Amino acid sequence: MLTTCARDYVSWANVFPSGESHDGTIRVLRFPVERERRLKDFAQLTDEILDGGGREQQEEWFRENGPIVPSLLEHLRQHRSSYDLVLFWTFRYYPSFFGLPLVAERAVLVPTAEEDRVVTLGVLAEFFRKPAGYLFMTPEEKALVSTRAGRPLQPAATVGIGIDSVTPVADARSTLDGHGIPAEYVLYLGRIDQNKGCQTLFDYFQDYAARHQGLSLVLAGPAKMRIPVHPRIHALGYVPDDLRTALLSQAQALMVPSPYESLSIVLLEGWNRAVPAVVNARCRVLEGQVRRANGGLYYRSARDFEEALRFLLTRSAERDTLGRQGLAYVEREYRWPTVLGRIESVLAATQDATSEKT
């Protein structure tokens, strides 16, 4: 594992010591970040490149996005032949954008690409064609990256992530009662952020609450924006694992309002507990996941949002069926043996192709 000394993806401040360590059987090499991210400069450059900046500006965006780790790139240059394959996670950061071309003939890209404006940058068409293999999170992501590359991408597989089976939660309701959680609620899990669609979630839920009694919205995660003061919106902040599990197991639905995703892990977590989902249909990945699983409902407007909640609250049998179908989808697609089999097939095909070229 080649990584940085940073822990915070916003500042990239060095925290961990550089050099070699071990995480179980995995050897970890950490490289120091040259400098922290200049947030003001990065924001200004982002505006410029999205308004049509040229190649130099676009490449500079990847530097400013960081984490700038020239020693990691030098390690790749010096030791490239000692690795059978090199997997790069997520396309949008410095180590991937500048590191992958150094070992392109043995590189496997896990792009985690979302349908945001950055993915349209001109420099990415060439970049997406460079890897020797690809691992995608969803069919929608594969189609997006292939379109940007201008050709089908092979060898490749849509793998998602591996998820362990879970056992039913004992006495979850008493755990929730101890934290003042109402009996009827829908749940949002994760960072509470404008970029995650939370403002629209708040607006739509308050419109719903003005016309319908009972249902509350419970939020569990760190807040990066102002949360409305409302008697039926309950913000818990970070929660311990036992409370998080209890919240998932008792929710009427899991709300996933993000407009940009390459894969929603929290959506799979909800289905793993047979909880139906209500997702933002403006995100093709979320709508695609829900359609393939038949595990929930999706909305494009406040009216859709209201109808989805009304349906789930008044049709308990159908709600339970959607949740069970979501769980069946996880069983089919995301258990570890299935996911690892897909990954191994791509790695083997990539290595075979690399061997033939060398």
Domains 2-162+336-357 and 172-333 share a fold: yes
A 10 A CB-CB count for 41 gives 11
**Peptide bond preceding 67 in cis form (omega within 30 of 0):** yes
In sequence order, the β-bridge partners of residue 201 are: none
Q: List the Cα angle 185/234/321 in 5-degree steps.
A: 20
Q: What is the pLDDT at residue 170?
A: 84
By the 8 A CB rule, do 188 and 220 touch?
yes
Distance CA 331, CA 345 (A): 20
Q: Which residues contact 90 (CB under 8 A, 6 or more apart)?
A: 96, 110, 111, 112
Per-residue pLDDT of the chain (358 residues; tens, 9 = 90+): 999 999 988 899 999 999 999 999 999 999 999 999 999 999 999 999 988 878 999 999 999 999 999 999 999 999 999 999 999 999 999 999 999 999 999 999 999 999 988 999 999 999 999 999 999 999 999 999 999 999 999 999 999 999 999 998 888 999 999 999 999 999 999 999 999 999 999 999 999 999 999 999 999 999 989 999 999 999 999 999 999 999 999 999 999 999 999 899 999 999 999 999 999 999 999 999 999 999 999 999 999 999 999 999 999 999 999 999 999 999 999 999 999 999 999 999 999 887 777 6
| CATH match for 2-162+336-357 among 1.20.58, 3.40.50, 1.10.3470, 3.30.420 | 3.40.50
The packing angle between helices 139-149 and 284-293, to 10°, is 140
Q: What is the pLDDT at residue 358?
A: 61
Burial profile 267-295: b = 16 or more Cβ within 10 angstroms, e = fewer: bbbbbbbbbbbbbbbbbbbbbbbbeebeb
3-state secondary structure of 298: strand
Domain ranges of the chain: 2-162+336-357, 172-333
Distance CA 171, CA 175 (A): 7
Provide the CATH topology of domain 172-333.
Rossmann fold (3.40.50)
